[in-house]
């Protein structure tokens, strides 16, 4: 279930920042047709911090119904509150999510002991598999490898999305027996070479067929072919980092005609200085990519 190209899916919004359900379904159909292995609903890229509970539930409900078992549906259920995380994880299970993606609590900066207690409490209460999510650049707390491996002893904790690109860390987690999903597009190819099971990707929002192909090559031991494909997307990786995620990726999808331009405050649309570069990139990305 948790392998290959998993997309940290954007939440499409109208210019008035209302959730666009028609565009959401169209994105899901595109990913199904492109060979995507799974999607994350309501993650960081999906603007989880500004989605209401009812919006999150509706998006998840639509995704589960549309996927109909053809790809995995992960629900972003983490928050700064353990109790709130448990509650949202239970909601995700009721709505049919295959797994919960639980980010480290932001702002309150728990210790490693606090992280152990937090994730164990969530996993104890969960009746779906839990995927740890470590992204210290966002949360200001770093889930250390030894803490992750201790958590992996819990039967409900099945994997980690590791956004730290340190390959020694990836190797430590893999060698310790924890299933790893890269959370860093530029280094995901190397992470899979070291034993990661796949990637939860931002870039796959705009190149789903290419990312499905990349993961297929990397996971089948065709490292050189995977690296060659990956090298062609260096400019995309750079562009996706010019402003905070998901600002650049939503702008690109809008330029490609996939979604409207809406994004919620405190995020604002991509600065005009990047538009020409983005238009050139968007045009190049519309070229079809073979998936076989």
Chain-centroid distance of CA 242 in Å reads: 18
Residue 197: count other Cβ atoms within 10 Å of its Cβ. 20
| Residues contacting residue 48 through CB under 8 Å, at least 6 positions apart | 42, 56, 76
Hey, which residues are catalytic here? 133, 161
| Residues contacting residue 207 through CB under 8 Å, at least 6 positions apart | 233, 236, 285, 289
| Distance between start and end Cα atoms, the chain | 21
Phi-psi region of 47 (alpha: psi -120 to 50; beta: other; left: phi over 0): left
Q: Please write down the HEC assignment for all residues of 214-271.
A: HHHHHHCCCHHHHHHHHHCCHHHHHHCCCCCCCHHHHHHHHHCCCCCCCCCCCCCCCC
* Dihedral sign from CA coordinates of 32, 36, 38, 42: negative
| Residues contacting residue 189 through CB under 8 Å, at least 6 positions apart | 214, 218, 223, 226, 227, 230
Q: What are the backbone angles phi and psi of residue 286, rounded to the nearest 5°?
A: -80, -5
Angle at 4 between CA 150 and CA 158, to 5 degrees: 20
Residue 102, token pair as written in the block: 């639980």
């Amino acid at each position: 279930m948790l392998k290959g190209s998993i997309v940290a899916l954007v939440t499409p919004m109208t210019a008035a920042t209302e959730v666009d359900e028609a565009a959401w379904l169209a994105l899901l159909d595109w990913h199904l047709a492109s060979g995507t292995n799974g999607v994350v609903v309501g993650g960081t890229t999906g603007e989880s911090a500004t989605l209401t509970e009812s919006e999150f539930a509706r998006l998840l409900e639509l995704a589960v119904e549309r996927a109909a078992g053809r790809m995995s549906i992960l629900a972003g259920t983490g928050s700064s509150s353990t109790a709130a995380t448990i509650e949202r994880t239970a909601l995700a299970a009721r709505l049919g999510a295959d797994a919960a993606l639980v980010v480290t609590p932001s702002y309150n900066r728990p210790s490693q002991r606090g992280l152990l207690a937090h994730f164990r409490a969530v996993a104890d209460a969960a009746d779906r598999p839990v995927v740890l999510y470590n992204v210290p650049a966002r949360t200001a707390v770093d889930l250390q490898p030894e803490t992750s491996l201790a958590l992996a002893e819990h039967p409900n904790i099945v994997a980690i999305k590791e956004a730290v690109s340190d390959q020694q860390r990836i190797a430590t987690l893999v060698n310790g027996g924890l299933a790893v999903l890269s959370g860093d597009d530029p280094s995901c190819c190397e992470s899979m070479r070291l034993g990661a099971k796949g990637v939860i990707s931002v870039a796959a929002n705009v190149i789903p067929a290419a990312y499905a192909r990349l993961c297929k090559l990397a996971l089948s031991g065709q490292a050189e072919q995977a690296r060659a494909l990956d090298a062609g997307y260096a400019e995309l990786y750079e562009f996706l980092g010019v402003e905070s995620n998901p600002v650049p990726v939503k702008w690109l999808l809008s330029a490609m005609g996939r979604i409207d331009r809406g994004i919620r405050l405190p995020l604002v649309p991509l600065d005009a200085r990047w538009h020409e570069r983005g238009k050139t990139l968007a045009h190049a990305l519309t070229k079809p990519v073979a998936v076989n």
